[in-house]
A and B are shown apart, each in its own frame.
Chain A
Amino acid sequence: MAILYNTESTLAERVEACLDDDFKHNAIKNAQEAFYVSRGRLVEEMGDGWQQLRMHAMEVRNHVTENLDYYVKQFAENAEKNGCIMHYAPSGDDALWEVLDVFEKHGAAYAVKSKSMMTEEVGLNEVLEEAGIKITETDCAENILQTAESKPSHIVVPALHFNREAIADIYREKRGYEGSSVPEEITHFLRKILREEFMEAEVGIRGCNFAVAESGSVTLVTNEGNGRMVDTFPKVQIVFVGIDRIVPDLESLDTMMALLPRSAVGAKMTAYFSLDSGPRGEGEADGPEEVHIILMDNGRHELANSEFSDMLRCMRCGACLNICPVYRHITGHGYGSIYPGPMGLVLTPGLVGYDDIDNMVYACSLCGACTEHCPVSIPIHDLVRQHRINIVDQHKNHAIEVPIFKALGLFWSSRPVYLAGMKIGAPVMKVLAHGGNALDASSTWIPVVNSWTSTRDFGVLSETRFRTWFKEHKEQQNNAEGGEQ
Chain B
Amino acid sequence: MKIAFFPMCMVDMMYPEVGIAAVNVLERLGCELEMPEEQVCCGQGLINSGYTKEMIPAAKMMVDAYDRSEYEIIVSLSGSCMNAIVNDYQVLFKDDPEYLERTRKLKERFYEFTDFIVNVLGVTDVGASFHDTVTYHKSCHLTRILGITEPPLMLLQGVEGLEYIEMAHADRCCGFGGTFSFKQPVIAGEMVYEKCQTIIDTGANVICGADMPCLLNIKGALGRMRADGRLDRDIRVLHIAQILDSKE
- The interface of chain A, by Cβ under 8 A from chain B, is 12, 15-16, 19, 325-326, 329-330, 359, 362-369, 371-372, 385, 387-393, 397, 401, 405-406, 408-415, 418, 422, 438, 440-441, 448, 451-452, 454-462, 464-471, 473-474
Contact = CB atoms under 8 A, between A and B. Distances in A.
Contact of A385 (B33, B48, B60, B183): B48
Interface stretch (B39-47, B105-113, B114-122, B151-159): B39-47
B228 interface: yes
B177 to A, nearest CB: 3
A377 to B, nearest CB: 13
A440 B224 contact: yes
Contacts of A411: 40-41
Contacts of A408: 45-46, 54
B15 A418 contact: no
B16 A462 contact: yes
Chain B contact residues: over half helix, strand or loop, or mixed? helix
Contacts of A391: 50
B180 A364 contact: yes
Contacts of A330: 187
B209 interface: no
Interface stretch (B96-104, B125-133, B200-208, B212-220): B212-220
Interface residues of B, number: 70
Nearest to B38: A415
A452 B185 CA distance: 6
B144 interface: yes
Nearest to B141: A368
Nearest to B59: A413
B224 A441 contact: yes
B231 interface: no
A429 to B, nearest CB: 9
Q: DSSP majority for the A interface?
A: helix
Contact of A405 (B40, B49, B194): B49
Contact of A367 (B54, B173, B186): B173
B9 A412 contact: yes
Given A372-B144, A470-B23, A388 B49 contact: yes
A449 to B, nearest CB: 9
Q: Which of A16, A391, A415, A457 has the most CB of B within 10 A?
A: A457
Interface string B55-91: 1011011000000000000000000000000000000
A468 B7 CA distance: 12
- Point out which of A365, A385, A440, A456 has the most chain B C-beta atoms below 10 A from its C-beta: A456
B223 A413 contact: no
A458 B220 contact: yes
A132 B57 CA distance: 61
B240 interface: no
B13 interface: yes
Contacts of A464: 16
Contacts of B5: 470
Interface string B8-21: 01011111101110
A456 B189 contact: yes
A484 B183 CA distance: 55
Contacts of A452: 181-182, 185, 220
Interface string B182-201: 11111111111110000000
Nearest to A382: B91
B234 interface: no
B190 A451 contact: no
B58 A412 contact: yes
| A-B residue pairs, 4 tightest by C-beta | A365-B177, A455-B189, A388-B50, A409-B54
22 contacts: A325-B175, A330-B187, A359-B184, A362-B49, A366-B140, A369-B140, A369-B144, A369-B172, A372-B144, A387-B50, A405-B49, A412-B58, A413-B61, A414-B40, A418-B40, A452-B182, A458-B220, A465-B16, A466-B11, A466-B15, A467-B37, A469-B19
A415 B12 CA distance: 13
Given A409-B43, A441-B227, A459 B140 contact: no
Given A392-B51, A405-B46, A413-B58, A469 B40 contact: no
A474 B37 CA distance: 12
